[in-house]
Amino acid sequence: MCDRDVNWFGWYRLFIHGQSAQMPNTCIDEYKCGTHAPLWLNGEHPKVEDGVVTRGVCGHWNNNCCYYNSTPIRVKACPGDYYVYEFVRPFMCAVAYCADVGNINTIYTTITPETNSSEPCGGNMTDWRGVLLSPRYPNNYPNNAQCTWTIHSTGNTTVSLIFTDVDLETCCDYIKVYDGPSTLHPFLGEIQEYRNQSFRSSSNDLTVLFYSDHSVTHRGFHANWVFIESCGGYMTDWMGDLSSPWYPNNYPDNSYCTWTIHSTGNMTVSLTFPDVV
């Protein structure tokens, strides 16, 4: 397996033979760290008081120390004189993250994730409406939390999710929302502070991921979800009917429907509403 095939999530601390290590911030020789083009940190490591910083990542190849410009990563200095890194997938298998621990000479790197909270959270939600809360809400959530909820609707419904309260450590803790039954599906957005945000799935499932790092916690978040009857569409028949969801029964709450009626040639569209209540 190469670093490109790892599903990186959260923050990682580096070790070599049980000793704490860090990414080198100077050029590394080609074919080191068990790869062709070793990745090194293009910039100084931060101090604790700097909080989270973003640094470029370079890969040495073809006698050029920064031949490959990999995706930048976030870095944080921790009390106790070590660093954690928010790694992302490199763009190719021939590059890999490198570690350095003083004068230890090794070509192997071990990457260990920060320990997650043992407090249970997350789950599979199937009720047609409900509330989503961070652990311990409205009290502060724990450190090292990693929670994943999947909200699953059925039939011709989608999921509407509205965040009514968000209070997180904005540098390091976050909520991510995905359009599908897992975090491998399309990414809809990230929340680190309250901005009256809402999301809606394109089909039956919405996935919510909550992450907190090893220091500083806040109140967390409160969100409401509800299943919405799908409606709307693109109409091309020369005549037809439009009706609100569940007509002639009452339409559901939180409906948002858009229909486009498309004619061809030299024809226009005539629309008559015989019943509106």
pLDDT in tens, the chain (277 residues): 678 778 787 888 888 877 888 999 999 999 888 888 899 999 999 998 888 999 999 999 989 999 988 889 999 998 888 899 999 888 788 889 998 865 444 434 444 444 445 567 889 999 999 999 999 999 999 998 999 999 999 888 899 999 999 999 988 899 999 999 998 899 999 998 887 789 999 999 999 999 998 888 999 999 999 998 878 888 899 898 888 877 888 887 767 788 899 998 899 999 999 999 8
129 and 78 in a single domain? The answer is: no
CA distance 40 to 136: 39
State whether 80 and 166 are in the same domain: no
Nearest to 129 by CA among 253, 245, 256: 253
- Total-model pTM: 0.52
Task: With respect to residue 42, please indicate whether it lies within any of the assigned structural domains.
Answer: yes
Residue 68, beta-bridge partner list: 59
Residue 268 included in any domain? no
Which domain does 12 fall in, by range? 3-97
User: Is 239 a member of any domain?
Assistant: no
If DSSP codes are grouped into helix, strand and coil, which group holds residue 128? coil
Q: Is residue 114 part of a domain?
A: no
